[in-house]
Structure formats: structure tokens, C-alpha cells
């Protein structure tokens, strides 16, 4: 497979958790120390880690930077970090703590001119546009609110600044282990061939990932399927070694 597999580490109170459909009340803790999970992913051959600061998303500022710093300094993983990045100071603090890439969602919807300036200043290789989708529309503020904007409209808005990376999360499938909306993602990738569309939400097995790979998707985020053993680290390691 050519597709890049990126495990997800969602953080609340410094612990590795998973939610179902973005519902904070559905929280389930898998690792009290996220570094333990990161080290296991690294051992399996993973190169990139998706880290979401759920506390930060609610508080509108990063709250788990110490976790980011520990993972960035104790592993060789390339960490992409999102949650609560609403100011240049917050963005810089995320990079200072060791993130290779920063994910911006709400700010891109609420203050598109600011996000456009960040793309120009920091470069599209360091900034990821987060497009979280519920019923076809973009959700913001930790998925608590919905904006009247589609994923296509949001991505197209930042093409002049060269946006090159987009994580598109299907909230209705997130944490449900029901399979991703493969046709939707394939169409989105075809619509924006110069942008890396990262699939997020619903991955339940390696077969799901293989189907996305066959459709030309370049990267995929895997969360609950890993933590619940639907995809084992051993299987993941073999998959990464064999391509």
C-alpha cells in the first residue's frame, strides 16, 4: 500500500482517549500516558502521529503542550497537532513544543484572512487545514457548532495560498467503526489533485484502508480501530513492511 497510516492520539487531561461522534460524554481512556502509545506506534514502524488537544478545542487555546513536547522529544514521530490554535502565539507555541505540522480548523472558518496569512508565513508544508464535516457542513469549536460551509468551499478558499494538506473528518462516522465514506473522499481528492486529503472517521479494518489506497487516497487517520484491537500493531507493522 502507498497510503500513509497515521494513528490518532486524542488528549483530555493529559491522557489518551477516544470519543464517539465527537461526544465528550462518550470519553473512554486507553492510555494514561500518551507517550506509551506513541512508543508502541513508533516500534511498529509508524512515522506520523495525529494528536488532537480536546481540552484545547474547548478552551480555544492549547492545553496539552507538555504531552506534545514529551512525545516529540522521546520519539522520532512527526507529530501533527490540533486543538485550540486560535492565535499566532498559540500556533508558535505548538511548533515550539515540537509539532512538525499544526492543524487549524475553526480559525480557518471564522477568520479565513488570518489563516491565509499563516499559510503564506509558515508555508503549506507546516499547516494542515482541518475540515470536520457533519451533514455536509463544516463543524467548528470542537465540533460543538456548525458553519454554513462545505468542505469543497473551505478548501477552495485557500487554494490561492497553496494549501496542500487537508484532514477531512466525517463526524457521523468518527469512532463508530462503520467504515469511511470512500466515495466522498475519492471525489474530494479528484476535485483537488494537488492537495493531500487525509481520511478521518470510521476506519474499522485494514480492508477499509486498502480500499482507500486503491481509490488514490494518500493518507488516513486511524483511532478506535487500533485501540479496540480491530487492527493490531502486529498487522500494522506487517502492512508497513510489505507495502
Nearest 5°: phi and psi at 35? Answer: -60, -35
- The residues, any chain, with a CB within 8 Å of residue 8's CB and separated by 6 or more, are 18, 50, 51, 52, 200, 221, 222, 223
In the set 53, 132, 174, 208, the catalytic residue is: 132
**Active-site residue, 23 included:** no
**Active-site residue, 10 included:** yes
In the set 10, 53, 55, 208, the catalytic residue is: 10
Task: Report how far apart the first and last C-alpha atoms of the chain are (Å, whole number).
Answer: 5
Residue numbers annotated as active site: 10, 132
Amino acid at each position: 500500500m502507498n497510503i500513509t497510516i497515521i494513528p490518532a492520539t486524542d488528549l483530555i487531561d493529559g491522557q489518551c482517549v477516544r470519543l464517539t461522534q465527537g461526544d465528550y460524554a462518550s470519553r473512554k481512556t486507553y492510555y494514561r500516558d500518551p507517550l506509551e502509545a506513541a512508543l508502541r506506534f513508533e516500534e511498529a514502524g509508524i512515522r506520523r502521529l495525529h494528536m488532537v488537544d480536546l481540552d484545547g478545542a474547548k478552551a480555544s487555546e492549547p492545553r496539552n503542550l507538555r504531552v506534545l513536547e514529551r512525545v516529540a522529544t522521546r520519539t522520532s514521530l512527526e507529530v501533527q497537532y490540533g486543538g485550540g490554535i486560535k492565535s499566532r502565539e498559540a500556533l508558535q507555541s505548538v511548533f515550539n513544543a515540537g509539532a512538525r505540522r499544526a492543524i487549524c480548523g475553526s480559525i480557518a472558518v471564522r477568520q479565513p484572512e488570518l489563516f491565509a496569512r499563516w499559510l503564506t508565513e509558515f508555508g503549506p508544508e507546516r499547516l494542515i487545514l482541518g475540515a470536520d464535516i457533519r451533514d455536509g457542513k463544516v463543524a467548528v469549536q470542537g465540533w460543538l457548532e456548525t458553519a454554513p460551509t462545505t468542505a469543497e468551499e473551505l478548501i477552495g478558499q485557500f487554494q490561492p495560498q497553496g494549501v496542500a494538506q487537508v484532514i477531512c473528518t466525517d463526524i457521523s462516522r468518527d469512532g463508530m467503526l462503520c467504515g469511511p465514506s470512500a466515495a466522498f473522499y475519492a471525489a474530494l481528492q479528484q476535485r483537488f489533485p494537488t492537495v493531500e486529503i487525509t481520511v478521518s472517521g470510521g476506519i474499522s479494518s485494514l480492508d477499509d484502508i486498502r480500499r482507500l489506497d486503491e481509490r488514490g487516497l494518500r493518507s488516513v487517520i486511524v483511532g478506535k480501530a487500533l485501540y479496540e484491537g480491530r487492527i493490531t500493531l502486529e498487522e500494522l507493522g506487517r502492512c508497513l513492511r510489505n507495502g
